[in-house]
Structure 1
Protein backbone atom coordinates (compact mmCIF):
# COMPACT_ATOMS: atom_id res chain seq x y z
CA UNK A 1 0.00 0.00 0.00
CA UNK A 2 1.24 3.49 -0.69
CA UNK A 3 1.60 5.96 2.15
CA UNK A 4 -1.91 6.96 3.28
CA UNK A 5 -3.07 10.36 2.01
CA UNK A 6 -3.55 11.75 5.51
CA UNK A 7 0.14 11.13 6.24
CA UNK A 8 1.21 12.74 2.96
CA UNK A 9 -0.94 15.76 3.83
CA UNK A 10 0.67 16.01 7.27
CA UNK A 11 4.16 15.58 5.81
CA UNK A 12 3.49 18.49 3.42
CA UNK A 13 3.06 20.65 6.53
CA UNK A 14 5.66 19.24 8.94
CA UNK A 15 8.33 17.87 6.61
CA UNK A 16 10.47 15.14 8.16
CA UNK A 17 9.68 16.09 11.79
CA UNK A 18 8.64 13.36 14.20
CA UNK A 19 5.08 12.23 13.46
CA UNK A 20 3.06 10.47 16.17
CA UNK A 21 0.86 7.70 14.72
CA UNK A 22 -1.28 4.85 15.97
CA UNK A 23 0.09 1.54 14.79
CA UNK A 24 -1.56 -1.86 14.77
CA UNK A 25 -0.09 -5.35 15.09
CA UNK A 26 -2.03 -8.54 14.38
CA UNK A 27 -1.04 -11.96 15.72
CA UNK A 28 -3.12 -14.23 13.47
CA UNK A 29 -3.37 -17.88 14.52
CA UNK A 30 -5.00 -20.78 12.70
CA UNK A 31 -6.49 -24.09 13.86
CA UNK A 32 -3.26 -25.93 12.99
CA UNK A 33 -1.26 -24.05 15.64
CA UNK A 34 0.49 -21.73 13.20
CA UNK A 35 1.02 -17.98 13.09
CA UNK A 36 0.69 -15.85 9.95
CA UNK A 37 3.82 -13.87 9.04
CA UNK A 38 4.84 -11.63 6.16
CA UNK A 39 8.29 -11.06 4.70
CA UNK A 40 8.58 -7.28 4.51
CA UNK A 41 9.49 -5.78 1.13
CA UNK A 42 11.39 -2.86 2.71
CA UNK A 43 13.87 -4.82 4.83
CA UNK A 44 13.42 -8.50 3.92
CA UNK A 45 12.68 -9.70 7.45
CA UNK A 46 9.74 -11.79 8.59
CA UNK A 47 7.26 -10.02 10.84
CA UNK A 48 3.76 -9.98 12.21
CA UNK A 49 1.17 -8.09 10.19
CA UNK A 50 1.14 -4.39 10.97
CA UNK A 51 -0.36 -1.17 9.78
CA UNK A 52 -1.57 2.31 10.62
CA UNK A 53 -4.91 3.37 12.00
CA UNK A 54 -6.71 5.69 9.58
CA UNK A 55 -8.47 8.80 10.97
CA UNK A 56 -11.89 7.87 12.38
CA UNK A 57 -11.27 4.11 12.05
CA UNK A 58 -11.82 1.71 14.95
CA UNK A 59 -8.64 -0.20 15.92
CA UNK A 60 -10.09 -3.74 15.80
CA UNK A 61 -11.68 -3.03 12.41
CA UNK A 62 -8.40 -1.59 11.15
CA UNK A 63 -6.25 -4.57 12.15
CA UNK A 64 -8.68 -6.93 10.35
CA UNK A 65 -8.48 -4.66 7.28
CA UNK A 66 -4.67 -4.64 7.38
CA UNK A 67 -4.53 -8.44 7.67
CA UNK A 68 -6.77 -8.89 4.64
CA UNK A 69 -5.03 -6.17 2.59
CA UNK A 70 -1.58 -7.65 3.19
CA UNK A 71 -2.30 -11.40 3.20
CA UNK A 72 -5.81 -12.08 1.74
CA UNK A 73 -6.63 -13.87 5.01
CA UNK A 74 -9.94 -12.99 6.64
CA UNK A 75 -9.55 -12.76 10.40
CA UNK A 76 -11.53 -11.91 13.50
CA UNK A 77 -10.16 -10.18 16.58
CA UNK A 78 -10.10 -12.21 19.81
CA UNK A 79 -8.62 -9.68 22.23
CA UNK A 80 -6.24 -6.83 22.84
CA UNK A 81 -2.71 -7.99 23.73
CA UNK A 82 -0.84 -4.78 24.45
CA UNK A 83 -0.75 -1.01 24.24
CA UNK A 84 2.76 0.40 24.04
CA UNK A 85 4.87 3.15 22.57
CA UNK A 86 7.58 2.03 20.17
CA UNK A 87 10.92 3.82 19.95
CA UNK A 88 11.21 6.65 17.41
CA UNK A 89 12.30 5.48 13.95
CA UNK A 90 13.44 7.09 10.71
CA UNK A 91 12.73 6.02 7.15
CA UNK A 92 15.37 6.21 4.40
CA UNK A 93 13.78 9.42 3.06
CA UNK A 94 14.30 11.11 6.45
CA UNK A 95 10.71 10.95 7.71
CA UNK A 96 10.66 10.36 11.48
CA UNK A 97 7.84 8.49 13.23
CA UNK A 98 6.85 7.09 16.57
CA UNK A 99 3.93 4.75 17.14
CA UNK A 100 1.47 4.02 19.88
CA UNK A 101 0.98 0.37 18.93
CA UNK A 102 -2.11 -1.69 19.70
CA UNK A 103 -1.46 -5.41 19.33
CA UNK A 104 -4.37 -7.82 18.86
CA UNK A 105 -4.74 -11.58 18.96
CA UNK A 106 -6.78 -12.75 15.96
CA UNK A 107 -7.87 -16.02 14.40
CA UNK A 108 -8.25 -16.84 10.72
CA UNK A 109 -11.78 -17.48 9.45
CA UNK A 110 -11.20 -17.57 5.69
CA UNK A 111 -9.07 -16.70 2.69
CA UNK A 112 -5.82 -18.19 1.47
CA UNK A 113 -2.52 -16.76 2.69
CA UNK A 114 -0.78 -14.98 -0.18
CA UNK A 115 1.07 -11.78 -1.00
CA UNK A 116 -1.79 -9.36 -1.50
CA UNK A 117 -0.04 -5.97 -1.81
CA UNK A 118 3.40 -4.46 -2.37
CA UNK A 119 4.35 -4.31 1.34
CA UNK A 120 5.56 -7.91 1.43
CA UNK A 121 7.35 -10.43 -0.77
CA UNK A 122 6.10 -13.59 0.94
CA UNK A 123 3.26 -14.61 3.24
CA UNK A 124 3.26 -17.87 5.09
CA UNK A 125 1.84 -19.79 8.04
CA UNK A 126 4.65 -20.74 10.44
CA UNK A 127 4.56 -23.53 13.03
CA UNK A 128 4.95 -22.02 16.49
CA UNK A 129 7.85 -24.43 17.12
CA UNK A 130 9.83 -23.23 14.08
CA UNK A 131 9.52 -19.45 13.86
CA UNK A 132 12.00 -17.50 11.72
CA UNK A 133 15.06 -16.19 13.54
CA UNK A 134 14.57 -12.57 12.49
CA UNK A 135 11.39 -11.95 14.48
CA UNK A 136 11.96 -9.15 16.97
CA UNK A 137 11.78 -9.72 20.74
CA UNK A 138 8.59 -7.61 20.76
CA UNK A 139 7.00 -9.89 18.14
CA UNK A 140 7.93 -12.99 20.16
CA UNK A 141 6.31 -11.37 23.19
CA UNK A 142 3.13 -10.62 21.21
CA UNK A 143 2.94 -14.24 20.05
CA UNK A 144 3.50 -15.52 23.61
CA UNK A 145 0.71 -13.24 24.87
CA UNK A 146 -1.63 -14.44 22.11
CA UNK A 147 -1.03 -18.06 23.11
CA UNK A 148 -1.81 -17.39 26.78
CA UNK A 149 -5.60 -17.39 27.15
CA UNK A 150 -5.47 -15.86 30.63
CA UNK A 151 -2.83 -13.15 30.23
CA UNK A 152 -4.24 -9.65 30.50
CA UNK A 153 -3.21 -6.92 28.06
CA UNK A 154 0.14 -5.33 28.75
CA UNK A 155 0.24 -1.62 29.45
CA UNK A 156 3.78 -0.45 30.09
CA UNK A 157 3.93 1.92 33.04
CA UNK A 158 7.52 3.10 32.88
Structure 2
Protein backbone atom coordinates (compact mmCIF):
# COMPACT_ATOMS: atom_id res chain seq x y z
CA UNK A 1 0.00 0.00 0.00
CA UNK A 2 1.24 3.47 -0.86
CA UNK A 3 0.02 6.95 0.09
CA UNK A 4 0.21 9.95 -2.19
CA UNK A 5 -0.26 12.84 0.21
CA UNK A 6 -0.99 16.00 -1.73
CA UNK A 7 -1.30 19.66 -0.84
CA UNK A 8 -2.31 21.60 -3.97
CA UNK A 9 0.52 20.96 -6.46
CA UNK A 10 2.96 19.73 -3.80
CA UNK A 11 3.47 16.07 -2.92
CA UNK A 12 4.88 14.70 0.31
CA UNK A 13 8.07 12.69 -0.17
CA UNK A 14 10.11 10.74 2.34
CA UNK A 15 13.80 9.90 2.07
CA UNK A 16 14.15 6.26 2.99
CA UNK A 17 16.83 5.13 5.40
CA UNK A 18 17.56 1.84 3.61
CA UNK A 19 18.25 3.37 0.18
CA UNK A 20 18.72 7.09 0.87
CA UNK A 21 16.34 7.75 -2.02
CA UNK A 22 13.12 9.77 -2.06
CA UNK A 23 9.87 7.87 -2.27
CA UNK A 24 6.31 7.72 -0.99
CA UNK A 25 5.06 6.44 2.37
CA UNK A 26 3.71 2.91 2.45
CA UNK A 27 4.38 -0.67 3.31
CA UNK A 28 3.04 -4.17 3.51
CA UNK A 29 -0.20 -5.59 4.76
CA UNK A 30 -0.14 -7.66 7.93
CA UNK A 31 -2.02 -11.00 7.91
CA UNK A 32 -5.77 -10.41 8.11
CA UNK A 33 -5.42 -6.64 7.69
CA UNK A 34 -7.60 -4.59 5.33
CA UNK A 35 -5.53 -2.66 2.72
CA UNK A 36 -6.81 0.79 3.74
CA UNK A 37 -6.26 -0.04 7.42
CA UNK A 38 -2.69 -1.08 6.56
CA UNK A 39 -2.09 2.24 4.85
CA UNK A 40 -3.40 4.23 7.81
CA UNK A 41 -1.13 2.19 10.11
CA UNK A 42 1.96 2.58 7.91
CA UNK A 43 1.56 6.36 7.65
CA UNK A 44 1.02 6.63 11.41
CA UNK A 45 4.09 4.44 12.09
CA UNK A 46 6.42 6.24 9.67
CA UNK A 47 5.25 9.86 10.03
CA UNK A 48 3.32 9.91 13.30
CA UNK A 49 0.27 11.49 11.62
CA UNK A 50 -3.23 10.50 10.61
CA UNK A 51 -4.53 10.82 7.07
CA UNK A 52 -7.84 10.76 5.26
CA UNK A 53 -8.04 8.42 2.27
CA UNK A 54 -9.71 10.16 -0.67
CA UNK A 55 -9.61 7.53 -3.42
CA UNK A 56 -7.56 4.82 -5.09
CA UNK A 57 -5.25 6.17 -7.79
CA UNK A 58 -4.32 2.76 -9.20
CA UNK A 59 -2.38 -0.48 -8.85
CA UNK A 60 1.26 -0.54 -9.95
CA UNK A 61 3.86 -3.23 -10.62
CA UNK A 62 6.26 -4.31 -13.32
CA UNK A 63 9.98 -3.93 -13.89
CA UNK A 64 10.42 -0.78 -11.78
CA UNK A 65 9.06 -2.62 -8.73
CA UNK A 66 11.31 -5.66 -9.07
CA UNK A 67 13.94 -6.27 -6.40
CA UNK A 68 16.77 -8.75 -5.83
CA UNK A 69 17.52 -9.53 -2.20
CA UNK A 70 21.12 -10.02 -1.04
CA UNK A 71 20.54 -13.81 -0.93
CA UNK A 72 19.61 -13.76 -4.65
CA UNK A 73 15.84 -14.11 -4.25
CA UNK A 74 13.99 -12.09 -6.90
CA UNK A 75 10.56 -10.59 -6.30
CA UNK A 76 8.14 -8.35 -8.13
CA UNK A 77 6.06 -6.08 -5.92
CA UNK A 78 2.58 -4.74 -6.60
CA UNK A 79 1.24 -1.73 -4.72
CA UNK A 80 -2.18 -0.15 -4.54
CA UNK A 81 -1.82 3.63 -4.35
CA UNK A 82 -4.26 5.87 -2.52
CA UNK A 83 -4.66 9.64 -2.79
CA UNK A 84 -4.68 11.03 0.76
CA UNK A 85 -4.77 14.25 2.72
CA UNK A 86 -3.16 15.05 6.06
CA UNK A 87 -5.17 15.70 9.19
CA UNK A 88 -2.18 17.48 10.76
CA UNK A 89 1.18 18.73 9.51
CA UNK A 90 3.42 18.01 12.48
CA UNK A 91 5.48 14.87 11.79
CA UNK A 92 7.15 12.50 14.23
CA UNK A 93 9.39 10.43 11.95
CA UNK A 94 10.26 6.78 12.50
CA UNK A 95 14.03 7.22 12.30
CA UNK A 96 14.51 3.51 11.53
CA UNK A 97 12.70 3.97 8.20
CA UNK A 98 12.57 7.67 7.26
CA UNK A 99 15.52 10.10 7.21
CA UNK A 100 13.52 13.20 6.33
CA UNK A 101 10.44 14.45 4.54
CA UNK A 102 9.82 17.27 2.12
CA UNK A 103 7.10 18.73 -0.06
CA UNK A 104 7.93 18.83 -3.77
CA UNK A 105 6.23 19.55 -7.07
CA UNK A 106 6.48 17.15 -10.02
CA UNK A 107 9.05 19.50 -11.57
CA UNK A 108 11.18 19.46 -8.41
CA UNK A 109 10.99 15.66 -8.25
CA UNK A 110 13.09 15.37 -11.40
CA UNK A 111 16.04 16.90 -9.51
CA UNK A 112 15.82 14.43 -6.62
CA UNK A 113 17.29 10.94 -6.41
CA UNK A 114 14.05 8.99 -6.25
CA UNK A 115 12.62 5.58 -7.02
CA UNK A 116 11.58 5.55 -10.69
CA UNK A 117 8.29 3.77 -10.08
CA UNK A 118 6.80 6.84 -8.40
CA UNK A 119 7.03 8.93 -11.59
CA UNK A 120 3.95 7.32 -13.14
CA UNK A 121 2.14 7.21 -9.80
CA UNK A 122 2.58 10.93 -9.20
CA UNK A 123 1.68 11.80 -12.78
CA UNK A 124 -1.55 9.82 -12.35
CA UNK A 125 -2.20 11.46 -8.95
CA UNK A 126 -1.89 14.94 -10.47
CA UNK A 127 -4.81 14.28 -12.86
CA drift at 1:73: 2.6
For 2:9 and 2:92, the matched residues in 1 are separated by 18
- Asked if 1:109 is matched to 2:87, the reply is yes
1:76–1:106: 8 Å Cα contact kept in structure 2?
Answer: yes
Name the SS of the counterpart of 1:144 in structure 2. Answer: helix
Specify the alignment match of 2:30 in structure 1. Answer: 54
> Highest Rg: 1 or 2?
1
For 2:75 and 2:56, the matched residues in 1 are separated by 23
CA drift at 1:47: 0.6
Where do residues 22-33 of structure 1 align in structure 2 (5 Å cutoff)? 24-30=1-7, 33=9
Aligned residues: 124
Deviates more, 1:84-93 or 1:139-148: 84-93
For 1:96 and 1:54, the matched residues in 2 are separated by 21
Relative contact order, higher structure (CA 8 A, sep 6+): 2
- Identify unmatched segments of 5+ residues in structure 1: 1-23, 149-158
- Identify unmatched segments of 5+ residues in structure 2: none
RMSD of Structure 2 on Structure 1 (CA): 2.1
Specify the alignment match of 2:108 in structure 1. Answer: 130
2:21–2:115: 8 Å Cα contact kept in structure 1?
Answer: no
1:114–1:124: 8 Å Cα contact kept in structure 2?
Answer: no
Match of 1:119 among 94, 97, 115: 97
CA drift at 1:94: 4.1
